[in-house]
Amino acid sequence: MTTLSLSDPLFVTYVVAATLVILKAVSMSWLTVVRMLKEKGGFRSPEDIRKTPFNPDPSPQQLEPNDRVERIRRIQQNDLESLPYFLVAALIFVLTGPPLLLAQILLYGYVVSRLVHFVAYLSAQTHDMRAMLWTPGSLILIFITLWSLAATVL
Amino acid sequence: MTTLSLSDPLFVTYVVAATLVILKAVSMSWLTVVRMLKEKGGFRSPEDIRKTPFNPDPSPQQLEPNDRVERIRRIQQNDLESLPYFLVAALIFVLTGPPLLLAQILLYGYVVSRLVHFVAYLSAQTHDMRAMLWTPGSLILIFITLWSLAATVL
Amino acid sequence: MTTLSLSDPLFVTYVVAATLVILKAVSMSWLTVVRMLKEKGGFRSPEDIRKTPFNPDPSPQQLEPNDRVERIRRIQQNDLESLPYFLVAALIFVLTGPPLLLAQILLYGYVVSRLVHFVAYLSAQTHDMRAMLWTPGSLILIFITLWSLAATVL
């Protein structure tokens, strides 16, 4: 039985992968902030065009979608459709006691696939390229989930 | 005390419900892919109308919202507003050591309610019907969360 | 080693913070329901303007974005970009065995910061104010994640 202890290498693998995934996710919020500040736009609430110290020269155009801000929001949404599920699926997966090497390959592989997908999305690579880089992460998520279900019911 | 071991029936209940929920969630991503391929549209990034092997005949219309793709995106968003919270709430719930039968009814009931809600949303049933099918899942989520809070502070 | 038992004060801290966060998140769904009912609008699916007992007098305007409903949707989206990650990060954090007082300050601090942010967003305070109230929660999330990663790899 896997223990939730930092002396259990399966749990360590999970914690490293999960914390990297969470840091990646949180970075998207800050990247949105940075881009909104630089673009002085891409806001979404009517009150965001009130005059304030951070927005001394407001205009209605600031509420229109801004390409550079919307790109980060799409990346963040893409994260949301996968990362929260991975964080739980990976925890269950390590609790089923898989071989350590397999867990390391799959969990770290997921982290790497998401980081490479992020770079491709940020730099506006083709849809084909983005799809190709998104697929391994999704397949890893499906695999660890099916593994956990099989380990439990079989 | 509930143990996170596959020999503990409460944890088994959680793993079965959680993995089914995750598989359901991930299926929405692939259903979006299938519909985008079939409709040859419903894309969202400007670079998605570049000419590529998968998109040999691009046009600006491909970036307009596509009804069949948007439906899956709405379902996926509805999932996001509930499933990640359920996955954590249900884990905490089984750790409070509830009666096994109660846990099975609530956790499997949630899974079933989400699957039926999905079918109703996909087949464009009325808003009333969809709301009626969404409600049990939401109430189960609230119940297991309140139960866990009560078990902890009382 | 922290145990996932209700007799372990670190786990109790986690459960209290996590259940409050989940209840907050689920409330947004119900607040959306309440506002859609009051506004008789802010719907999103074409089938939502069919005549039904709950919508006896449908009109195409009901599918247009409604300011009061969209505000709750933006708050809910803001939750989604943080809460699911916090729920996992905080669990990992307590499992690394931090000082109890530190865990209480950070986890309850996160809950309070999200509730205050919600009030500010709901009442349409300035973007500056909202940003200022959002920041502590995000920094706590980053801090507990980096702490957990450091505790594991160092």
Instruction: Answer whether C96 touches B (CB < 8 Å).
Output: no
Cβ distance A45 to C75 under 8 Å? no
Is residue A114 over pLDDT 80? Answer: yes
pLDDT, one tens digit per residue, over C64-105 is 999 999 999 999 999 999 999 999 999 999 999 999 999 999
Chains that touch A (3 or more CB pairs under 8 A): B, C
Q: What is the pLDDT of residue A3?
A: 86
Q: What is the pLDDT of residue A2?
A: 85
Environment class of A70 (CB within 10 Å of its CB; exposed 0-12, middle 13-18, buried 19+): middle
Q: What is the pLDDT of residue A90?
A: 98
Cβ distance A49 to A59 under 8 Å? yes
pLDDT, one tens digit per residue, over A64-76 is 999 999 999 999 9
When pLDDT is averaged across residues C134-153 and rounded to a whole number, the result is: 98
Is residue B22 over pLDDT 80? Answer: yes
Max Cα separation, chain C? 64
User: Which B positions 55-84 lie with beta carbon below 8 A of chain C?
Assistant: 67, 71, 74, 80-82, 84
Angle between helices B9-39 and B83-95 (to 10 degrees): 170
Instruction: Answer whether B92 touches A (CB < 8 Å).
Output: no
Considering only CB atoms, A88 lies closest to which of B44, B45, B87, namely: B87
Q: Which residues, 6 or more positions from A18, have their beta carbon under 8 angstroms from its beta carbon?
A: A87, A90, A91, C88, C89, C92
Q: How many angstroms separate the CA atoms of C114 and C120, rounded?
A: 10
Confidence of residue C115 (pLDDT cuts 50, 70, 90): very high
The mean of the pLDDT values for chain B is 97
Q: How many angstroms separate the CA atoms of C2 and A59, rounded?
A: 52
pLDDT, one tens digit per residue, over A93-113 is 999 999 999 999 999 999 999
Q: What is the pLDDT of residue B72?
A: 98
B146 chain-C contacts, CB cut-off 8 A = 19, 23
Cβ distance A138 to B1 under 8 Å? no
Confidence of residue B1 (pLDDT cuts 50, 70, 90): confident
Q: What is the pLDDT of residue A29?
A: 97
Contacts of B99-105 with CB under 8 Å at 24 or more apart are B100/B9, B100/B10, B100/B13, B103/B10, B103/B13, B103/B14, B104/B13
CA angle A115, A119, A121 (to 5 degrees): 110
Task: State the ipTM, two decimals.
Answer: 0.97
B12 chain-A contacts, CB cut-off 8 A = 152
pLDDT, one tens digit per residue, over B89-146 is 999 999 999 999 999 999 999 999 999 999 999 999 999 999 999 999 999 999 999 9
Is residue B3 over pLDDT 90? Answer: no
Cβ distance A86 to A145 under 8 Å? no
When pLDDT is averaged across residues B67-81 and rounded to a whole number, the result is: 97
Confidence of residue C3 (pLDDT cuts 50, 70, 90): confident
